[in-house]
Amino acid sequence: MTEKTVFGACPHDCPDTCSMLTTVKDGKAIEVRGNPDHPFTQGGLCVKVNNYQDRVYSSDRVLYPLKRVGAKGSGEFERISWDQALDEIKTRWTAIIDQHGPSAILPYSYLGTEGLLNGLNAGDAFFNKLGASISERTFCDSGAITAFFMTCGPTAAVDPESFVHSKYIVLWAINTISTNLHHWPFIAKAQENGAKVVVIDPISTRTAKKADWHIAIRPGTDAALALGMINVITEEDLVDHDYVEKYTVGYDELKDRAANFPPDKVAQITGISADDIRTLAREFATTQPSVIRMGVAIERNASGGNAVRAMSCLPALVGSWRHCGGGILHMPIWAFPVNWDGLSRPDWIREGTPVINQWRLGAALTGELETKIQSLFVYNSNPAVVAPEQDKLLEGLAREDLFTVVSEHFITDTARYADIVLPATTQLEQFDVMFSWGHLYLTINEVAIAPLGEAVPNTEMFRRVAHAMGFNDPYWDRTDEEMAQDALDWSNPVLDGIDLDLLRQHGYARLKVGSPDEFVPHREGNFPTPSGKVEFKSSMAAGGDMVLPLFRQGYTGNQRGGEIDPLPNYIPPNESPQTNPELAARYPLNILSPKSHAFLNSSYGNLDAQLHHAGEQMVMISPDDAKARGIADGDAVRVFNDRGAFEAVARVSDDARPGVVVAPVGYWAKDSRNGRTVNAINPPAFADYGNAPTFSDTLVEVTSAAQAAE
């Protein structure tokens, strides 16, 4: 009998990127646990991943290539060999390319796994070589990143571990205990030491319940709140003038802009009292170190980018950057010297290649866009659940003439529509190196067990597909380890003394950025913006493109020109009772679709332990709104607007603000009452920056399902 412990990394698209230890006995993984030595993981995993071996060994795993035998969407497949699958792909694609050109093929991927090798960019080089359309990947944080770069630049900004030193912590549009769990102990420690924790969220979340102050803001109005805070700080002269003078640009213009946002007006927009707005501004300014932790959810409205810009001005105005544990934390990912272009090979993109945004998949497949898509290749993503306009998307996926290939662990709602399904390995069966967007450690993921069935890592899948298509560039001759060598700039000072051998010995390594107790990168400015300062007035606004090239692999075609406001402003929500009274007469409730505590996006939405935790697809509604509709807790309800409808169980709770309902994303359509989930009602509309979504700006009506059926 042999037993060993293998260093791994949680694969998921989550800021925590836990260092994971897998116990392997006689070639079988019997347990996973959090690495107790890792300062951020601290020995714990979450409810999603702490039984990861059950995902690996689930009897529902796809273990062999499959070919569709039933109708699209029926989920009926038969086993074929890898050679047959590759032959079929080659034959179909060759015909499509001959007839329509390669841009009729659309890749679609996101972060099913976050590894440098198997994650976001795993297929880019292949599809660029093929000449396929470019998938513009703005699922997550593209608006906030653009806004943050415009104001502070690509900086790690604040070490999440430094929060133990903070005295005033604002958790803004983030549900830390569900979505960034391993940050919580640092916040809790600060709280024990006397820090005040403020949560700004329309919902009383698990995190809000632990806060000293929960501010239940109206969705999509955060930009107004931040500008209101700037108004109070400038009017009452709570400004750190020395910091502002030395390390910022555009103070006078920002002050003028904020003059349009006095607390009384902001109170009307946000639903927060003028006194509370003043208190928040005063306390944030005077309780140092003060820090903001923003969630990805901040960007999901018409004013999301502007909100991030205004929020990113606050710490510089009051000098929070002078202190360890002060500033604004967006994502420390920018500290990792990733060789993005080496992974993606944007140099292989052909001039004039169409760019199709991910949120527009329904439109792309139903022929609404200029480029007609004849083939879709999905890996690391489950668009049938995570993309909006679900009705349209499923209609597109059902097209008989569309040739769809999906690489997966499971027959997801998307894979059900595939012509060919390719089996993918899980994290225990593959090698990878992981960055983090929530801490400053690089983590290795070693192979713990042999691949099950004929599953392969994405790296190997693209080697096979590339060779089948006759590509012989050495890019596809590299081993995974060689790819890892190329994926990072190991000569960068932050990786000084760190290499694969060291990672193999320790499982992880902290970047050489100094200790969390001394991490104050902007005590004296040094912001990576064009001016080197915090740009209240942004010089990047003159560039005229509000989607950073990052999201389309460095490709700078299709620029949208136009005037961009160099100062942060507030743009009213696309859909809200305040701004669209006509629409609100039919659909009076503002719906939010945040993350589920027990799922990771739609991953785990099919597995027993997590489903048991999450319960049936639900919608949370306030007692007032429920009563007005004759809805009781536990009733089956229909949630709908002009785009679509889904059925769910009502959870009547004071946790929802009146006028706001909440339906977490991640439930699978096939297991839902009417075969639809929350993205049936969500729009494809873009936020102000970065082609981010506007899920927090959506209006619906809720009725009891029995009533709807009459």
Ligand X SMILES: Nc1nc2c(c(=O)[nH]1)N[C@H]1C(S)=C(S)[C@@H](COP(=O)(O)OP(=O)(O)OC[C@H]3O[C@@H](n4cnc5c(=O)[nH]c(N)nc54)[C@H](O)[C@@H]3O)O[C@H]1N2
> Which residues of the chain form contacts with Mo ion (CB under 5 A)?
140
Nearer to ligand X, 203 or 589 (CB): 203
Among 437, 439, 457, which Cα is nearest to 447's? Answer: 457
CB of 36 to ligand X, least distance (A): 22
CB of 601 to Mo ion, least distance (A): 7
Interface mask toward ligand X for 11-50; x: CB under 6 A: --xx------------------------------------
Interface mask toward ligand X for 379-398; x: CB under 6 A: xxxx--xx------------
- If residue 206 lies in a helix (H) or strand (E), which one and from where to where? helix 206-210
List the single partner that 538 binds among ligand X, Mo ion, none, CB under 5 to 8 Å by kind.
Answer: none
Q: Which stretch binds ligand X (CB under 6 A): 111-119, 185-193, 518-526, 540-548?
A: 111-119
Nearer to ligand X, 158 or 600 (CB): 600
CB of 603 to ligand X, least distance (A): 4
Q: Which stretch binds ligand X (CB under 6 A): 68-76, 98-106, 320-328, 404-412?
A: 404-412
Q: How many CA atoms lie within 13 A of 664 on its CB side?
A: 25
Distance CA 136, CA 553 (A): 8
- With tokens 């500008």, the residue in question is 227
CB of 616 to ligand X, least distance (A): 17
CB of 152 to ligand X, least distance (A): 19
Which one of residues 118, 133, 375, 641 is an interface residue with ligand X (CB under 6 A)? Answer: 118
Structure tokens at 656: 């929802």
Cα–Cα distance list, 47 to 296, 410, 617 (Å): 21, 20, 18
Q: Which 3-state string (H, E, C) describes 293-357?
A: EECHHHHCCCCHHHHHHHHHHHHHHHCHHHCCCCEEECCHHHHCCECHHHHHCHHHCCCCCCEEE
Nearer to Mo ion, 110 or 508 (CB): 110
Cα–Cα distance list, 337 to 37, 137, 258, 299 (Å): 24, 20, 37, 25
273 secondary structure, DSSP code:
-
358 touches ligand X by CB under 6 A: no
Which one of residues 40, 64, 93, 110 is an interface residue with ligand X (CB under 6 A)? Answer: 110
Nearer to ligand X, 100 or 613 (CB): 613
Binders in 248-307 for ligand X, by CB under 6 A: 295-297, 300-301
Pairing of strands 28-34, 19-25: antiparallel
List the single partner that 118 binds among ligand X, Mo ion, none, CB under 5 to 8 Å by kind.
Answer: ligand X
Distance CA 625, CA 202 (A): 15
List the single partner that 313 binds among Mo ion, ligand X, none, CB under 5 to 8 Å by kind.
Answer: none
211 touches ligand X by CB under 6 A: no
Cα–Cα distance list, 195 to 39, 184, 188, 284, 675 (Å): 21, 13, 9, 11, 46
464 secondary structure, DSSP code:
H
Binders in 676-695 for ligand X, by CB under 6 A: 678-679, 682, 695
Judge whether 648 and 639 are in contact, CB under 8 Å: yes
592 touches ligand X by CB under 6 A: yes
Structure tokens at 611: 């489903």
List the single partner that 456 binds among ligand X, Mo ion, none, CB under 5 to 8 Å by kind.
Answer: none
Interface mask toward ligand X for 316-335; x: CB under 6 A: --------------------
DSSP labels for 549-596?
A: GGGGTT---S-------SS------SS-TTT-HHHHHH--EEEE--B-
Nearer to ligand X, 154 or 693 (CB): 693
Judge whether 705 and 650 are in contact, CB under 8 Å: no
Binders in 187-206 for ligand X, by CB under 6 A: 200-203, 205
Cβ within 8 Å of residue 3, ≥6 positions away: 23, 24, 25, 26
Nearer to Mo ion, 140 or 540 (CB): 140
Cβ-based burial of 303 (10 A; exposed 0-12, middle 13-18, buried ≥19): buried
Structure tokens at 274: 């003028």
DSSP labels for 159-202?
A: -GGGGGG-SEEEEES--HHHHSGGGHHHHHHHHHTT-EEEEE-S
Interface mask toward ligand X for 595-634; x: CB under 6 A: xxx-xxxxx-------------------------------
The count of other CB atoms within 10 Å of the CB of residue 140 is 21
Nearer to Mo ion, 122 or 411 (CB): 122
Binders in 123-182 for ligand X, by CB under 6 A: 139-140, 172-175, 178-179
Which one of residues 593, 617, 703, 704 is an interface residue with ligand X (CB under 6 A)? Answer: 593
Among 445, 450, 398, 451, which Cα is nearest to 423's? Answer: 451
CB of 301 to ligand X, least distance (A): 5
Nearer to ligand X, 248 or 380 (CB): 380
Task: Please count the residues of this chain forming the interface with ligand X, following the rule CB under 6 A.
Answer: 60
Distance CA 359, CA 356 (A): 9
Nearer to Mo ion, 179 or 288 (CB): 179
Cβ-based burial of 710 (10 A; exposed 0-12, middle 13-18, buried ≥19): exposed
Q: Which stretch binds ligand X (CB under 6 A): 112-120, 269-277, 314-322, 509-517?
A: 112-120
Which one of residues 136, 408, 429, 625 is an interface residue with ligand X (CB under 6 A)? Answer: 408
Cα–Cα distance list, 193 to 288, 351, 386, 399, 519 (Å): 13, 57, 40, 59, 19
Q: What are phi and psi of 432, to 5 degrees?
A: -160, 170
Judge whether 706 and 636 are in contact, CB under 8 Å: yes
567 touches ligand X by CB under 6 A: no
Judge whether 396 and 402 are in contact, CB under 8 Å: yes
Nearer to ligand X, 360 or 409 (CB): 409
List the single partner that 179 binds among ligand X, Mo ion, none, CB under 5 to 8 Å by kind.
Answer: ligand X
Nearer to ligand X, 298 or 495 (CB): 298
CB of 13 to Mo ion, least distance (A): 6
Judge whether 665 and 593 are in contact, CB under 8 Å: yes
Nearer to ligand X, 164 or 620 (CB): 620
List the single partner that 113 binds among ligand X, Mo ion, none, CB under 5 to 8 Å by kind.
Answer: ligand X
List the single partner that 522 binds among Mo ion, ligand X, none, CB under 5 to 8 Å by kind.
Answer: none
Residue showing the smallest CB distance to ligand X in the complex: 112
Distance CA 298, CA 226 (A): 12
CA 568-570-574 angle, to 5 degrees, is 135
Q: Which stretch binds ligand X (CB under 6 A): 27-35, 409-417, 548-556, 629-637?
A: 409-417
CB of 426 to ligand X, least distance (A): 7
Nearer to ligand X, 566 or 684 (CB): 684
Binders in 433-462 for ligand X, by CB under 6 A: 458
**Cis-peptide into 107, omega within 30 deg:** no
Which spans of this chain sit near ligand X (rule: CB under 6 A)? Answer: 13-14, 110-113, 118, 139-140, 172-175, 178-179, 200-203, 205, 217, 219-220, 222, 295-297, 300-301, 379-382, 385-386, 407-410, 412, 424, 458, 592-597, 599-603, 665-666, 678-679, 682, 695-696
